[in-house]
Amino acid sequence: MSNQLFKKVLVCGGAGFIGSNFVHHLHGAYPDCQIYNLDMLTYSGNKKNLSDLDGSGRYEFIHGDIGDKNLLSSLFNTHRFDAVVNFAAESHVDRSLHSSYHFIQSNVVGTHTLIEAARQHAVPRFIQISTDEVYGDIRDGESDENTPLNPSSPYSSSKAAADLLIKSYIKSYKLPAVIVRGSNNFGPYQYPEKLIPLVISNLLEGKKIPVHGNGLHTRSWLYVQDFCHAIDAVLCRGKLGEIYNVSGVPKTNLEVLEEISKNLNLTTSWQESVVHTNDRPGADLRYAPNSGKIMREMGWRPLWRFEDGMKSTVQWYLTNREWWTQIKNTPAFLEHYEKQYKAQYF
């Protein structure tokens, strides 16, 4: 655990998957930390993810948009945050292929509005949660923090645009910001449109699993608690103006399915449930970020083996069936899933 330097932290997008895990982490690790969670509650934001903190004097939820300049001004004036950690974003590649307006609005315009407020109110530290997807498809070798940005989807290009805006604020205004580029996370509270929770829940419901193309795409899978520890380290000790990659374990999508199935008592083989669909247009076949920098400079190490992270994740989805069943019955899930399942992008 790092030394606590911050007493009042604004977390943006804390009601989503990684954000809610990070709020839990901060709340548990730092008894003196006051946490404010600004979240617009889009389809993937869920106040239930943090219902165990209801009544905590150290946690406050604020319903709002990071793109709302007046709200930000009032919040920054009232609370004088020591640090801002920004998770707020539209996060699903498939949705960005269907319509990218919200992605540009929240991920680009929203982030710009937030860093402008941070600059005007002289916030001492701003952490942007970015992604390895900004490097695009990495067919050979690995991407380090200096690898050129080469995003493929409207999602990843909106995240790259936010990174570039932040870099310009660091150069032009000396914004005290750090960018953290995480690889594919998995764990509790992940919205069931993403590969791992979709596969676990579909198998539990006896439904088919849509596998894009040949299923040999490779992602670097990072257990969400390990990512939260990395963000904690960067929040406390990351060098201002720097970028840090945080990566996990490389696995193909079919290897991920195999590992999930080992943790479920299936009566048939998972292969029988697979339906091969079209691949995404512009699909990235491989991400391979290198985390050498955060390991060298901050001593961060992943503590979870991929197999243990998966075991714990499957267990969480087994125990919290009501959480995902409710989500899978909402119009926001069903309307999108219809298109996602058929892989009809245009």
| Residues involved in catalysis | 132-133, 155
The residue count for binding ligand TYD (CB under 6 A) is: 11
**Shortest separation between residue 194's beta carbon and ligand NAD, angstroms:** 7
- Nearer to ligand TYD (CB atom), residue 93 or residue 161: 93
Burial 133-163 (b: 16+ CB within 10 A, else e): bbbbbbeeebbebebebebbbbbbbbbbbbb
- Nearer to ligand NAD (CB atom), residue 44 or residue 273: 44
Q: Which residue has the tokens 């339906």?
A: 275
Residue 134 makes contact with ligand TYD by CB under 6 A: no
Strands (E), 228-267: 243-246, 249-252
Q: Which residue has the tokens 């969670």?
A: 37
Chosen residue from 102, 207, 212, 237 binding ligand TYD by CB under 6 A? 212
Residues 55-94 that bind ligand NAD (CB under 6 A): 65-67, 87-91
Chosen residue from 25, 27, 217, 251 binding ligand TYD by CB under 6 A? 217
**21 binds, options ligand NAD, ligand TYD, none, Cβ within 5 to 8 A by partner type:** none
Residue 198 makes contact with ligand TYD by CB under 6 A: yes
Residue 136 makes contact with ligand TYD by CB under 6 A: no
Chosen residue from 194, 229, 251, 328 binding ligand TYD by CB under 6 A? 194
- Residues 67-106: x where in contact with ligand TYD by CB under 6 A, - otherwise, as a string: --------------------------x-------------
- Residues 95-114: x where in contact with ligand NAD by CB under 6 A, - otherwise, as a string: -----------x---x----
**16 binds, options ligand NAD, ligand TYD, none, Cβ within 5 to 8 A by partner type:** ligand NAD
Spatial separation of the C-alpha atoms in residues 234 and 239, rounded to whole Å: 8
**Shortest separation between residue 295's beta carbon and ligand TYD, angstroms:** 23
Chosen residue from 24, 95, 159, 229 binding ligand NAD by CB under 6 A? 159
Report helix, strand and coil shares of the chain as percent, to nearest 5: 45, 15, 35
Query: Which residue, 93, 84, 68, 179, is CA-closest to 126?
Result: 84
Coil, strand, or helix at residue 186?
A: strand
Handedness of CA 73, 77, 83, 88 (dihedral sign): negative
β-partners of residue 34 are 8
Burial of 119 per CB tally in 10 Å (0-12, 13-18, 19+) = middle
CB atoms within 10 A of CB 122: 10
Strands 83-86 and 8-12: parallel
Strands 126-131 and 83-86: parallel
Chosen residue from 15, 93, 108, 200 binding ligand NAD by CB under 6 A? 15
**Shortest separation between residue 42's beta carbon and ligand TYD, angstroms:** 16
- Which one-letter amino acid corresponds to residue 139? R
**What residues line the site for ligand NAD (CB under 6 A)?**
12-13, 15-19, 38-42, 44-45, 65-67, 87-91, 106, 110, 129, 131, 159, 182, 184-185, 191
**What residues line the site for ligand TYD (CB under 6 A)?**
93, 184, 194-195, 198, 210-212, 217, 219, 253
